[in-house]
Amino acid sequence: MSTNFQLDTATSRANPTPAPMRRLTIPALRRRKADGKVTEPIVMLTAYTARQAQLLDSHCDMLLVGDSLGQVIYGLPSTLPVTLDMMANHAAAVVRGSYHAVVVVDMPFGSYEASPQQAFASAARLMEESGAAAVKLEGGIAMAETVEFLTQRGIPVMGHVGLTPQAVNVLGGYGARGRSDAEAEKIVSDAKALEQAGAFSIVVEGVVEPIAIAITQAVPCPIIGIGASSQCDGQVLVTEDMLGMFERVPRFVKRYSNMAESISAAAETYASEVRDRSFPSQDQTYPSK
């Protein structure tokens, strides 16, 4: 899939297309954290479509094409069935719809765990087909060799520790991690190992707050929290959760809107007008000459 494709603003619903500007870069985001502190917290949200990217882009430093699209877009029971094809296609749409934020794309389950060489082939394909700037993968110390292999070959990597959804079957569910001393120590060690291997940033998900704070203070690269702590170097949420598109959301989500209610109400009004024949009116039909 070519990322050179441009939306035709004369015919596309994605009109108007924003004026081009310089896109943020991985090194620029990495430099935001110096001497253990960020100059400005990093804002990150998920995006899966071109139009969604257009609406979020000017407000975000990073857009994550998350494998959460398996549940949010495709109605799958978990992220595990998500494929490289899905990720590449949605990431390309997000790149086309954005011009400012760094676009990071998740590597789906089974596409990188077998070996560094497998991970490189998968990451290279994702970046080539989408134009994304970086990939994200889950796992700590076990994935450090892979992270180093990728970064040494020109592929920026974002890490992900704590609650790692692709390991839900091993973890036994989506509960908060790090409640035991042993697990807390491992999560901190995982984050340190990823940074030392070359990760430019690390997502810390679903951990008890003291662990998130400890990682943020101990690890030189930016730490992005989700269900972690406001003291992290940045935050990420699934956009549909933040917009109130679902009835059930994790504890760590704050709803900034209730889009599900608005959409349902609009559909109800539309259905009523269709049934009573008040839509379409003269404003929505073409008169004869």
Residues 233, 222: Cα–Cα separation, whole Å: 6
Residues 249, 243: Cα–Cα separation, whole Å: 11
Residues 47, 132: Cα–Cα separation, whole Å: 12
Q: At what angle do helices 116-130 and 84-97 cross, to 10 degrees?
A: 40
Nearest in space to 229 (alpha carbons), one of 197, 262, 264, 203: 203
The answer for residues whose C-beta is within 8 angstroms of residue 58's C-beta and 6 or more apart is 18, 100
Catalytic, out of 129, 148, 205, 240: 205
| Residues in a beta bridge with 235 | 43, 225
User: In one letter, which amino acid is 7?
Assistant: L
Q: Judge whether 247 counts as a catalytic residue.
A: no
Binding residues for Mg(2+), by number, are 67, 106, 138
Are 109 and 68 within 8 A, CB to CB? no
**114, burial (CB in 10 Å: exposed 0-12, middle 13-18, buried 19+):** exposed
Binding residues for 3-methyl-2-oxobutanoate, by number, are 67-68, 106, 136
- What are the tokens at 54? 């257009």
**Residue 215, helix vs strand vs coil:** helix
Nearest in space to 218 (alpha carbons), one of 194, 182, 252: 194
Residues 61, 216: Cα–Cα separation, whole Å: 18
Nearest in space to 108 (alpha carbons), one of 85, 132, 75: 85
Residues 247, 243: Cα–Cα separation, whole Å: 11
What residues act catalytically?
Answer: 205
